Amino acid sequence: MGSPGLRDADGWLPRERRFPTGDLAGQIDLLLYSGGGESRLPGVPRHDLTSAESEIWFSSTSISRPGRHARAAILESLAGLSGALGDPAPVSLWFNALRARIANALGAPSATVLLAPSLAEGRALAHFVAATTLGRAVVEMVPSPEESDDDALSLPNWARETIALRGADGTPLDPLDIDAHARSLASDLLNDGQALLLHALDVSRTGLAGVSRAAARRIVDAAPERVLTLLDAGELRTPPERLAADLAEGMMVLASGSRFMGGPAHCAALLLPPAIARALEAAPSRFAADISPARFDLPAGLRHVFGGGFDTRMNVGLGLRWAGALAEFERYNAIPQDIRDRVLDAFSRRARAMAARLDFLDLEPRRGHADDFLRGGVVSLHPVDPGGGRMGYIGASALRAALGLPRPGVAGDAVCHIGAPVPTAAGAILPLSISAPLICDVAGRLARGVAFDRAMAPVWRDLSTLFTKWETLAG
């Protein structure tokens, strides 16, 4: 951690070792980026609490700038831990309360929550849970990793089978074909005597999905003693009640507070349904070199299973990041569903209409989906290079970086953030996406009686600025 006052054996902050109350704001960045997962995401800009208010953020498939409610919640949490609000809070109880808030926010109070500083480490925890509870090595079935990871090359070297979400030409596959491939592959692996951890990707960074929940259930039913399912909801765009239903059906759920929800970068959580949590608690201790949770990241009843011990007692930065993400998440969930859907759909339609008029962009076609309004918050754009062909990953990365740098005289010197590029056989995709804090801002204006078009006007202005700068760079 680097903060000696946060290492009391009982998780308390003694009064004589508190942070100076007048300098809490100055401690936030130091703590937020301690114990984080930034080293797993090379080339991704650090978005901290000091980013200018004028910056434009349509990057919620990667990371977003924390909203003002997140910033206020982080400062309040730090003040409570440091004793600035009275007696210092017990850090162990604070982490317990954070885990309970995550479970309640997803409508699953009976779920057991394990914290992780990145989605990659959340997946490593899921692998540990699967291997430990099944009592044997597992083969992972993973939908195209580049669709869910900013840096797919950082994945550990486990036994893994990939389920393609796109064809050889880069276009999205039919969901029925994805499910058929997954069922066939699972059948072959099970017939070979393997145990499986099946990843079902809820919403990818380009708005795709697979394996479906129905197909995952069929695979589990074929060999329930040898298959566990991880619902990868890293984007956290799905209504909490649906994720609660997934947990009730026995799936583990992986979620991030850093992307769509607008919490600070690098906060993730793995939620376990009661049956898996009980099986893990009863399992013998096991060492795994590829996971390194802090002691307070885990509920007390599960710590004995992690035979490698804990190098760190607590990751206060991770707790503060979740405190900020939960403030935004709880605010977003309080908005009526029909308003959320309307804003998502309006954003998708307007962004697509604006992009369709530009000759330096190709749009990925929309696909029919029962819940397309959810995926409509992500608009997948193929940038076109000056020669007329689609850019590859390197060119798209450079373009994204240029959009995120001030350029005097261009679009009012605006700094614009969009999602990290996703490589495909048809050229790289730069995802454009609205975040929960922006939707909350629109909902707040609507609640004050502002007409819908006027409530969306700041979003439309920022979209126009982004495309104006992009056009100049494409020049």
Q: In terms of domains, do 171 and 313 share one?
A: yes
Beta bridge partners of 69: none
Give the structural domain span for 339.
335-474
**47 in a domain, yes or no?**
no
On whether residue 459 sits in a domain, the answer given is yes
Residue 16 domain-assigned?
A: no
- Between CA 57 and CA 79 the distance in angstroms is 28
Helix, strand or coil for residue 436?
Answer: helix
- pTM exceeds 0.85, yes or no: yes
For the chain, the domain total comes to: 2
In terms of domains, do 326 and 339 share one? no
Do 208 and 284 belong to one domain? yes
pLDDT at 289 (0 to 100) = 73
- The percent of residues above 90 in pLDDT, for the chain, comes to 63
Whether 55 is covered by a domain: the verdict is: no
Neighbours of 385 (CB within 10 A): 15
Are 278 and 341 members of one domain? no
**Band of the pLDDT at 151, cuts 50, 70, 90?**
low
Q: Examine the fold and report which residue of 313, 331, 349 is the final residue of a domain before the chain moves on.
A: 331
Give me the residue label for tokens 């550990």. 156
356 and 303 in one domain? no
Structure tokens at 81: 């831990």
d(CA 437, CA 21): 28
Q: What is the pLDDT of residue 30?
A: 67
CATH number at residue 425: 3.90.1150.10
> Do 206 and 290 reside in the same domain of the chain?
yes
pLDDT score for 161? 94
Instruction: Give the pLDDT band of residue 53 (cuts 50, 70, 90).
Output: low
Distance CA 130, CA 169 (A): 34
AA identity, residue 346: A
Q: Are residues 311 and 374 in the same domain?
A: no
Give dist(CA 241, CA 249) in Å, integer: 12
Q: Could you give the 3-state DSSP secondary structure of residue 463?
A: helix
**How would DSSP label each residue in 375-422?**
HTTEEEEEEB-TTSSBP-HHHHHHHHHHHTS--TTSGGG--EEEPPPB
In a domain, 26, yes or no: no
DSSP assignment, residue 265? S
320 and 423 belong to one structural domain? no
- Does residue 170 share a domain with residue 123? yes
At 113, is the secondary structure helix, strand, or coil?
strand
Which of residues 283, 304, 331 is at a domain's end? 331
Does residue 40 lie in a domain region? no
pLDDT category of residue 215 using cuts at 50, 70 and 90 = very high
The label of the residue with tokens 């100055």 reads: 26
Specify the CATH number for the domain of residue 141: 3.40.640.10
**pLDDT digit string, tens, across residues 108-129:** 999 999 999 989 899 999 999 9
Are residues 205 and 147 part of one domain? yes
Both tokens assigned to 104? 């309640």
- 212 plus 287 within the same structural domain: yes
Within-domain flag for 410: yes
CB contact at 8 A, 108 and 95 = no
Asked, for residue 43, whether it belongs to a domain, the answer is no
Which residues partner with 286 through β-bridges? 306
Whether residue 280 is found in the same domain as residue 384? no
